[in-house]
C-alpha cells in the first residue's frame, strides 16, 4: 500500500509542469521581465530576512541563508510558479522560545524535522484539504496578513540597533524624530508615488525596482542621513556550508523539538497553501497543493542542514513578484541567486540602500494585498460570514496565521452544521401501500447536529403499530445519526410497534448495513422505482 501510494504521487509529480517557463516562450522580453522582477524581490527580501532573524534570536546570516535556500528550492519544484518563499515572521515568533531555551543547534534540528513532516504531508496529499478553507477565511487571512506586514514596517521608523526581540516580535527602541523622521516619511511617500506612476509611464522596468533605485540614488547623491540596510546588520558572508545539527541523538532531544516542528510545519504549510491559492487567483492559474507541500518540506530539510532558520511562502514578496510581472520559475530562481550574490559580493552596495525605499515598496504591497472590497461586502454577506472575516483578521494580527485559519474554519463549520441542523423536519401521511401505517417523510440531513431534532419528530405513543420512515429527501451521515435511528427504533420497540426505513440511497444503505442496523434481503434502489423497507435492529450502539 505505501509503495503504491508513493508510486501514484511520483507519477503525479512527474506529470506536473516543472519547466522554467511554463506556457511562456523564451524571449528576451520575457527574460528581462523575470530577471528584473527577481532582482526587485531580492532587494525586498534582505531587510525582511534580517529582521526575522532578529525576531528568532539568531544571526542575520541564518535568516539570509534560509531565504536563499528555501526560495531557490521552492522556485525550482514548487506547486505554483511565481510564488516566493523565504524566512518569515510567522515562523520566527515560534522559533524564538526554542532558541532562547536550547540554542540555535536545536533550531536547525527542528527545521530538519519540520521539513520531513511537510514532505510526509505532501506524500499523503494532505494539501488538498486547503480546499476546506472558506472564502471568508481567505479574506480574513489576506486582510490580517496585510495589517501584519504594515505593522512590521513600523519598526523601520525606530533608531536602528535599539529594537529588540521580546519573544513575540520586535519591540522597544526609540522612534526617529525631527528631521530624520520627516525625511524618512518623505522618502517613503516618494517611493510609493514612483511605484504608482511608473506603470503609467513605462512598463520596461518593474515599478518597485524603479522606486528603490530612484530613491536610493537621491539618498546617496545628497548624502541624506536616514537609516539604511547596513544599519540593521552586515549582510556580508560566504556560501552556506553543510552542517549536521550538533544535538544529542536521544529521545529527550526528539521530545524537545517535536512540538516545535509540528507547529512550524503546520504554520508553514497553511501560509504556503493559502498564498498558493491567492497567487493562483491573481494569475488565473492553479497550482499543485501537494507538490507545494513536498517542495516546502525538501527546502526546509536542506536548509536545516545548511545553517538556515527555515521558512515558507511569503505573501508580501509573492505580491511584489506578481505585480512586477513574474510568472515563471525564473523569477523565483533569480531572486534567490541575486540574494546569494548580495551576500557574497554586493553587500557594500546593498547596505547603502535606504530602508525608506523598501518600506515604501512594502506599504504598496499592503495596499495591494488588503481586500478592500471586503469592507463593502460586510453588510451584504450573511452575518456569520462577515463575523468570520473580522474574526480571522483580528486573530491573525494578535495571534498567528495558523490559529486564525483554524479558528475561522471551525467557526464556519459550526455555523454550517447549525444551519443544516435547523433544516430537519418531517411530513406525515398515511401509507399508500401498507394499510394503517404512518409515513414520516424526513426532510434535511440527519447528522450529529440534527440528531436531537430528529428524535423530536416522532409521536411514539400516538402512532399506529407500523411506522415507515422515508429518507427520499434526507441522508444518514454519521454515527450520531445511527444512534438517533436506533434510539427512536428502541422507543417504538418498547411500545410494541414496528418501524421501517424506506428509500435509502446507496451510501446511506452501506452506512446502516455496516452498523448492523438493517435486516437486508436485497440491494436498495437509489432511483426509488421500488420502495424497499428495512427493519431496524436495536441494541447495536446502545441507544434506547
- CA geometry: angle at 464 spanning 462 and 466, to 5°? 135
Number of C-beta neighbours around residue 469 at 10 A: 27
The predicted structure's pLDDT at residue 7: 56
Q: Please give the average pLDDT of every successive group of 10 residues along the chain, which has 544 residues.
A: 53 50 71 92 89 86 94 92 88 88 95 96 88 86 86 83 52 78 94 93 86 93 90 88 93 95 91 87 77 95 95 90 89 95 92 90 87 86 90 87 85 87 88 85 89 90 90 84 86 89 76 64 46 63 52
Choose among 326, 332, 327, 325: nearest CA to 311: 332
Which pLDDT does position 42 carry in this prediction?
93
Q: Which helix (H) or strand (E) holds 439?
A: strand 438-443
pLDDT in tens, 354-368: 999 988 988 988 898
**Which helix or strand (DSSP H or E) is residue 452 part of?**
helix 451-455
* CA gap 276, 512 in Å, rounded: 40
User: Residue 429 phi/psi, 5° resolution?
Assistant: -160, 170
DSSP state of 58: S
Identify which of 195, 261, 171 has the alpha carbon closest to the alpha carbon of residue 44: 195
The greatest distance separating any two alpha carbons of the chain, rounded to the nearest whole angstrom, comes to 99
Distance CA 288, CA 77 (A): 10
Query: Is 476 exposed, middle or buried, given 0-12, 13-18 or 19+ CB atoms closer than 10 A?
Result: buried
Decide: residue 190, CB within 10 A, 0-12 exposed, 13-18 middle, 19+ buried: middle
Distance between CA atoms of residues 161 and 141, nearest Å:
31
Determine the Cα–Cα distance for residues 153 and 167; give it in Å rounded to an integer. 18
Q: Provide the pLDDT for residue 22.
A: 55
Residue 215 is predicted with a pLDDT of 94
Residue ranges of alpha helices (H) inside 399-450 are: 401-421
Helix axes 28-56, 207-222, angle to 10 degrees: 70
Burial of residue 79 (CB within 10 Å: 0-12, 13-18, 19+) is buried
The contacts found for 379-383 with CB under 8 angstroms, 24 or more apart, are: 381/136
Interior/surface letters 199-223, b for 16+ CB within 10 angstroms, e for the rest: eeeeeebbbbbbbbbebbeebeeee
What sign has the CA pseudo-torsion 291, 294, 300, 301?
negative
Contact call for residues 336 and 98 (beta carbons, < 8 A):
no
In angstroms, the CA 382 to CA 384 distance is 5
Residue 23 carries which DSSP code?
T
- Under DSSP, the state recorded for 354 is B
Of 486, 310, 262, 358, nearest to 42 by C-alpha is 358
Q: How far apart are CA 269 and CA 105, in angstroms?
A: 23
Amino acid at each position: 500500500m505505501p509503495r503504491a501510494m508513493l508510486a501514484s504521487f511520483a507519477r503525479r509529480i512527474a506529470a506536473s509542469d516543472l519547466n522554467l517557463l511554463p506556457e511562456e516562450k523564451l524571449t528576451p522580453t520575457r527574460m528581462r521581465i523575470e530577471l528584473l522582477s527577481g532582482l526587485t524581490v531580492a532587494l525586498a527580501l534582505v531587510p525582511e530576512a534580517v529582521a526575522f532573524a532578529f525576531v528568532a534570536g539568531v544571526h542575520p546570516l541564518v535568516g539570509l541563508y534560509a531565504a536563499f535556500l528555501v526560495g531557490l528550492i521552492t522556485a525550482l519544484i514548487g506547486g505554483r510558479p511565481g510564488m516566493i518563499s523565504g524566512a518569515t515572521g510567522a515562523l520566527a515568533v515560534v522559533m524564538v522560545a526554542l532558541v532562547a531555551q536550547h540554542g540555535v543547534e536545536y533550531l536547525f534540528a527542528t527545521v530538519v524535522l519540520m521539513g520531513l513532516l511537510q514532505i510526509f504531508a505532501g506524500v499523503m496529499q494532505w494539501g488538498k484539504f486547503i480546499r476546506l478553507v472558506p472564502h471568508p477565511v481567505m479574506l480574513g487571512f489576506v486582510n490580517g496578513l496585510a495589517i501584519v506586514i504594515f505593522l512590521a514596517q513600523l519598526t523601520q521608523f525606530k533608531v536602528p540597533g535599539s529594537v529588540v526581540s521580546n519573544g513575540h516580535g520586535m519591540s522597544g527602541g526609540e522612534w526617529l524624530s525631527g528631521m530624520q523622521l520627516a525625511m524618512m516619511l518623505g522618502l517613503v511617500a516618494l517611493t510609493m508615488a514612483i511605484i504608482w506612476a511608473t506603470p503609467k509611464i513605462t512598463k520596461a522596468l518593474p515599478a518597485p525596482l524603479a522606486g528603490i533605485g530612484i530613491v536610493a540614488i537621491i539618498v546617496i547623491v545628497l548624502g541624506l542621513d536616514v537609516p539604511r540596510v547596513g544599519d540593521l546588520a552586515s549582510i556580508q558572508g560566504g556560501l552556506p556550508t553543510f552542517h549536521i545539527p550538533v544535538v544529542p541523538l536521544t529521545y529527550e532531544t526528539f521530545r524537545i523539538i517535536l512540538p516545535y516542528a509540528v507547529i512550524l510545519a503546520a504554520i508553514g504549510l497553511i501560509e504556503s497553501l493559502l498564498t498558493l491559492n491567492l497567487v493562483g487567483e491573481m494569475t488565473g492559474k492553479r497550482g499543485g497543493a501537494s507538490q507545494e507541500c513536498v517542495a516546502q518540506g525538501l527546502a526546509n530539510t536542506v536548509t536545516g542542514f545548511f545553517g538556515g532558520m527555515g521558512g515558507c511562502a511569503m505573501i508580501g514578496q509573492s505580491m511584489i513578484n506578481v505585480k512586477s510581472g513574474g510568472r515563471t520559475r525564473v523569477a523565483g530562481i533569480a531572486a534567490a541567486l541575486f540574494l546569494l550574490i548580495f551576500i557574497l559580493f554586493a553587500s557594500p552596495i546593498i547596505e547603502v540602500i535606504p530602508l525608506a525605499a523598501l518600506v515604501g515598496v512594502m506599504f504598496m504591497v499592503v495596499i495591494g494585498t488588503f481586500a478592500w472590497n471586503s469592507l463593502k461586502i460586510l453588510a451584504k454577506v450573511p452575518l456569520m460570514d462577515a463575523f468570520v472575516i473580522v474574526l480571522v483578521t483580528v486573530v491573525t494580527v494578535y495571534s498567528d496565521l495558523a490559529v486564525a485559519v483554524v479558528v475561522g474554519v471551525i467557526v464556519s463549520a459550526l455555523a454550517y452544521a447549525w444551519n443544516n441542523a435547523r433544516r430537519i423536519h418531517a411530513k406525515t401521511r398515511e401509507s399508500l401501500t401498507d394499510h394503517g401505517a404512518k409515513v414520516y417523510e424526513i426532510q434535511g440531513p440527519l447528522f450529529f447536529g440534527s440528531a436531537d431534532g430528529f428524535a423530536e419528530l416522532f409521536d411514539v405513543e400516538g402512532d399506529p403499530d407500523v411506522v415507515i420512515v422515508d429518507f427520499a429527501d434526507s441522508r444518514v451521515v454519521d454515527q450520531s445519526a445511527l444512534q438517533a435511528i436506533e434510539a427512536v427504533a428502541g422507543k417504538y420497540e418498547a411500545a410494541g410497534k414496528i418501524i421501517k426505513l424506506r428509500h435509502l440511497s446507496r451510501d446511506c444503505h452501506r452506512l446502516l448495513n455496516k452498523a448492523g442496523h438493517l435486516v437486508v434481503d436485497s440491494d436498495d434502489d437509489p432511483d426509488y422505482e421500488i420502495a424497499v423497507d428495512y427493519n431496524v435492529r436495536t441494541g447495536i450502539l446502545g441507544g434506547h
